[in-house]
Chain A
Amino acid sequence: MSAHASLLKPDLRIRRRPRPGVGKRWLVMATLIALVTVMPVVSLIVIAVSSGASESWAHLLSTVLPEATRVTILLMLGVALVTGIVGVVTAWLTASFDFPGRRLFSWALVLPLAVPTYIAAYCVTEFLHFTGPVQTAIRQGFGYASGRDYWFPDVRSLPGAVIILSSVLYPYVFLTVRLVFLMQGRKAADVARTLGSGPGMAFVRVLLPMARPAIAVGVALALMETINDIGAVEFLGVRTLTFSVYSTWLNRGDLAGATQLALAMLVVIVGLVLLERAARRDQRYTLSRDDRASVGRHPLKAGYGLLAGLACALPIAFGFGIPAYILGDYAFRRLDQFTDAALWSALGNTGLVAGAAGLLTVLAAFMTSYGVRLTRSPTLLALVRLGTLGYAIPGTVLAIGILIPLAAFDNALDAVLRNNFGISTGLLLSGSGAAIVYACFVRFMAMGYGAMESGFAKLSPHLDHASRTLGHGPGRTLRTVLLPLMSPALLTGFMLVFVDSVKELSATILLRPFDFETLATFVYASASRSAFEDAAVAALLIVATGILPVLVLTRTILKQAR
């Protein structure tokens, strides 16, 4: 592709490790972690194959499956397109140009990440509904009496779902792509511009191809969250395949059939990911060194600056502004809830779970991805990638896959100890908060590993080679050379897992111990009896808890990359 990229070839990989056996410990550790991550998916496969092809298939094929498949594909295409465009354009604008509000936008664009999809769906619907502020203003302004007097787009529709989901999922693309633009993009763009390209041309010819792996990672995360979502699509009346997974399980009592459907969806996702990877197999972009001597951002003229500002403000308004407005409005009438001790203990639990999950997941992802980088074992790579797929499985179904092996382990351990030592450990893991942390670990490994993988990918293998030539082992190479360069990726990974764990609901609600509430379960208790407004305070706290790390860490990342 560009001159910049081809300079980095040929790729001088080390085929033999200088000290045989050194990488072995990493391989063992990485394999162990990968096995732990992949266990729930495996236990779902066991459930799925235990009963042979489910009768549900014939029923589904002859009824809702074609339509649900069509809806799901359109929803995914829509979300991929919108998150891709919004994420890349906003990342490009904030990374390459100077315009009024750029500094504000460069972190505010991440804010919608703190809003769970089901809360966004509720708030946007509420905002645009007949009784909401927008239509009320229209009626008052034009003197209409009833909803039948004028046309207004129906939010509860497929296009509505695409926009609502995208408005809170685009930050995945924004974050991953911006990192690329900041770390290497400007230099490459500068080179292109010296060679006579305008900013637009540099974007299309250099930046976009360079960002492609990052775009793929971000869009894949957005799509996996789209496919595991049930709260938002159910509320919006959009019947995806996920909806059929639940009706097969809960209304027709066919868990095996539901699992088979969920896994079939997973296979499709894997196919898409593999296709995308295959399509860019021969492209490698790495950074030889951090570039701090960039010529800086291209200032925009007033009119264009305004347009750029608008392009950045719109997604924030939709994904964050509307939910914050609606929740704030409800919460304002429920200020007394802030004195509820249960709410604050839920906040504490949320922070504890999310912090622990973030830490564990990032450490584990770091170790596995370094293990992969070091050993280049295709088996390990495949295992690790399989483990990241949990994110694409509908949450409660995955939670069943977590619950069964955990409880089986607990019961086996209890039996062994009871028989030999007379000690009963009961439900050691499945009955404690550790199960929730494990669930978040499994669900969000995709985030952690994605961040590590793209982080490592940006570091040229030459770095390892040089360090190793100087006689450093893999550990020392990691510490002195790679780790400092990896800190933005580590922070990004932690932040993504933390924020998603704060929002996590479906596994938490199934796996929690007695009298254990998180903010998300707090919200659910009200929302599940259609009293969402009573959940506004807790929902607002979810958003606030998610924002805090987003702010701290985006600033750190920006500083690192600047």
Chain B
Amino acid sequence: MSFKTTASAFTLSIAAVSAAMTPGIASAADVNIYTSRQPELIQPVLDAFTEETGLSTATIFIDKGLEQRVSAEGANSPADVIMTVDIGRLDAAKQEGVTQAVTGETINETIPAEFQDADNQWFGLTARGRVVYASKDRVDVDALTYKELASPEWKGRICTRSGQHQYNIALIAAYIEHYGEDAAREWVTGLRDNLARRPEGGDRDQAKAIFAGECDIAIGNTYYVGQMMTNEKEPEQKEWAEAIKVIMPTFDNGKTHANISGIALAKNAPNKENAIKLMNFLSSEEAQKIYADANYEYPLEPGIETSDLVQGFGEFNKDDISLSAIASHRDAASRIVDEVAYDSGPQS
């Protein structure tokens, strides 16, 4: 093999690869969606949108780094909207400067103010509660406050996933907004010392741990309970769900921490008009219902009924402190988790 042969083989294979891959460029749909939501959860509502408006959609499911990708793509970015979960991600998109404001549209009206960005850069679409899963057999109480989770009566009885997980960070950030940073540090320390084991796994694994008798209460999102209760393929998970009851813990205002899934208009949206149509559609009653039901979540537009299954969790009295305020405490929350070494498990 001479140099020329090797070099041309190399060049040829690059050319072949490029040719094989280029169809991917065709970013051609009427609305292009960058999303960190799993495709199967958003597809039903996107299908309804296409049916109603005749506009086609294309999606890319991206997790970590979604904002950086839109940012790097710059003016040529095909992204029209960014759909994501967790207040932190929506705020990160805003901070990265990849969103733009939407004003004077239906979505501004239908979504309650506390679930929108103060500068109209993002909008919540559905809510989920960060609640307590408690053992039906071993826990008698039916009401709890978040504060009480740190009280000694739960020593060695609590399970959670990593304190650095975005859902726990948002909860701690909400705690900071309610009670201040020092109180939050004390609370996270108390919670840590009540842990039955080092934080590990996801929310479902905590329900499983209650089922297995490793702990009596756990912190988790509401929709996982719905997913476990209806898991026909793995009926074992129904047993885990059967072993627990949902308790809606409250802050002093009597309300429960709510996180959201949401949407933002991309800064360089090439199909801005269509994108806004999608945003408005997603805030409509029809879409809110489909979207919320797809994952046992709560619609954000007031007055829409949730499914029977979700109603079974009890009344979800969504906290009405501003999500923007919660987002601003995420950095502090993440530091507290490190400072008290929450993820190392109980220390006393």
Footprint of B on A, CB under 8 Å? 25-26, 29, 59-60, 62-64, 67, 129-131, 146-148, 154, 156, 234-237, 239, 243-244, 246-247, 249-253, 255, 330, 333-334, 352, 356, 359-360, 363-364, 366-367, 396, 399-400, 403-404, 406-408, 410-411, 414, 426-428, 430-434, 436-437, 474-476, 478-479, 483, 506, 509-516, 521, 524-526, 528-531, 533-534
Contact = CB atoms under 8 A, between A and B. Distances in A.
Contacts of B335: 59, 63, 252
Given A356-B20, A411-B74, A431-B73, 8 more contacts: A63-B338, A236-B200, A247-B338, A250-B166, A253-B95, A366-B6, A475-B3, A530-B205
Contact of A252 (B76, B211, B213, B331): B331
B25 interface: yes
A411 B76 contact: yes
A407 B200 contact: no
User: Which 3 pairs from chain A and chain B are nearest by CB?
Assistant: A237-B200, A433-B21, A513-B24
A406 B69 CA distance: 11
A533 B200 contact: no
A400 B14 contact: no
A474 B6 CA distance: 12
B118 interface: no
A534 B41 CA distance: 14
Interface in B35-58: 38-41, 58
Interface in B315-348: 330-331, 333-335, 338-339, 341, 343-344
Interface string B145-172: 0000000000000000010101001000
A100 B232 CA distance: 44
A164 to B, nearest CB: 13
B20 A530 contact: no
B13 A363 contact: yes
B314 interface: no
Given A237-B162, A427-B73, A526-B38, A432 B25 contact: yes
Contacts of B75: 411
Contacts of A363: 6, 9-10, 13
A433 B6 contact: no
A427 B76 contact: yes
A60 B338 contact: yes
Nearest to B61: A525
User: By CB atoms of chain B within 10 A, which of A60, A399, A432 has the most?
Assistant: A432
A478 B5 CA distance: 11
B131 to A, nearest CB: 16
Contacts of B32: 514
Nearest to A359: B13
B22 A432 contact: yes
A247 B164 contact: yes
A237 B199 contact: yes
5 contacts: A26-B3, A247-B164, A396-B64, A514-B29, A530-B204
A436 B59 CA distance: 17
Interface residues of B, number: 81
A252 to B, nearest CB: 5
Contacts of B76: 410-411, 414, 426-427
B72 A404 contact: yes
Contact of A237 (B2, B20, B198): B198
Interface in B214-250: 214, 224, 227, 233-234, 236
Contacts of A148: 213
Contacts of B25: 426-428, 431-432, 513
A237 to B, nearest CB: 3
Given A131-B211, A156-B201, A237-B199, A437 B21 contact: yes
B68 A400 contact: yes
B214 A130 contact: yes
Contacts of A512: 24, 60, 62
Contacts of A399: 65
A529 B14 CA distance: 36
Given A130-B214, A237-B162, A529-B38, A475 B334 contact: no
B201 A237 contact: yes
Contacts of A129: 208, 212
Contacts of B253: none
B59 A514 contact: yes
Given A437-B21, A475-B3, A479-B1, A403 B341 contact: no
Contacts of A250: 64, 88, 92, 166
A475 B17 CA distance: 26
Contacts of B20: 352, 356, 433
A246 B203 contact: no
Interface string B67-110: 01100111111100000000010001001000000000000000
